[in-house]
Amino acid sequence: MSRKITKIIPQRNKRRLNIYLDGKFGFGFDLENYIKSKIYVGTELSEGEISELKKGDDYKKYSDNLLRFATLRPRSKQEINFWFVRKKVNPLHQNELLKKLEKLDLVNDENFAKWWVDQRLQFKSKSKRELVQELRNKGIEGKVIEQVLSESDLDEFKSVKRLVEKNSYRWSLLPKKEARQKMQIFLARKGFGWDVIKKTVKELED
């Protein structure tokens, strides 16, 4: 059974159209897809053809939205997969969309990890252990994490000193022994190793 296109009118954003079939709203359609499809008022479509047009339009919408998401900043594969789930992207489109991003170099775990580490070190005083855990939570493989951290400007002694200076109010009025203990516990919770903590605390006391 075929259905006839009886009306085509633009939507508010002008980049999409409403396609009417047999006098009733049928589906929304992207302007670019419309031009490529060569359909027009009076065209008769089978249910299979309508289904294919809708699938193509869904892919175009997903692709446009995903490109906007992926170009805001570096993205990891896990972030893209989470986006697919959040946006309820048809599984049939996911692999093709991911390949499109990889071809454009818009999804790359190593680039994402470098960006993440740079951002965290610029605005936070982070230990190596914290950064490793954060990147693991982002789905980055261990070998990529090690490589990126080895090439980064991570200086745990510098980070520890910055943290101590920022949080000195916590123990500034305490007796020396208690202040040292509180400081050490605080830094250990931040993921710093004992050798870094011991050296930094000794330098500050000296």
Q: What is the reported pLDDT for 206?
A: 62
**Cβ neighbours, 10 Å, residue 77:** 17
Burial per residue of 29-63, b for 16 or more beta-carbon CB atoms within 10 angstroms, e otherwise = bbeebbeebebeeebebeeeebeebeeebbbbbbb
Expressed in percent and rounded to 5, the helix, strand and coil fractions of the chain are 60, 15, 25
pTM over 0.85: no
C-alpha span between 55 and 49 (Å, rounded): 10
C-alpha span between 93 and 13 (Å, rounded): 25
C-alpha span between 14 and 30 (Å, rounded): 9
CA 7 vs CA 33, 55, 77, 96, 172: distances in Å: 17, 20, 41, 32, 76
The count of C-alpha atoms lying within 13 angstroms of the C-alpha of 16, restricted to the half-sphere facing its C-beta, is 13
* Amino acid, res. 161: K
Give 85-118 pLDDT, tens digit per residue. 999 998 889 999 999 999 999 999 999 999 999 9
Domains and CATH numbers, the chain: 2-103 (1.10.10.10), 108-154 (1.10.10), 155-206 (1.10.10)
Element containing residue 70 per DSSP (H, E): helix 47-70
3-state secondary structure of 29: strand
pLDDT tens track, the chain, 206 positions: 889 999 999 998 788 899 999 999 999 888 888 888 888 899 999 999 998 898 888 888 899 999 999 999 999 999 999 999 999 998 889 999 999 999 999 999 999 999 999 999 888 888 999 999 999 999 999 999 999 999 998 888 888 888 888 888 888 888 888 888 888 898 898 888 888 888 887 777 76
Cβ 108 vs Cβ 141: under 8 Å:
no
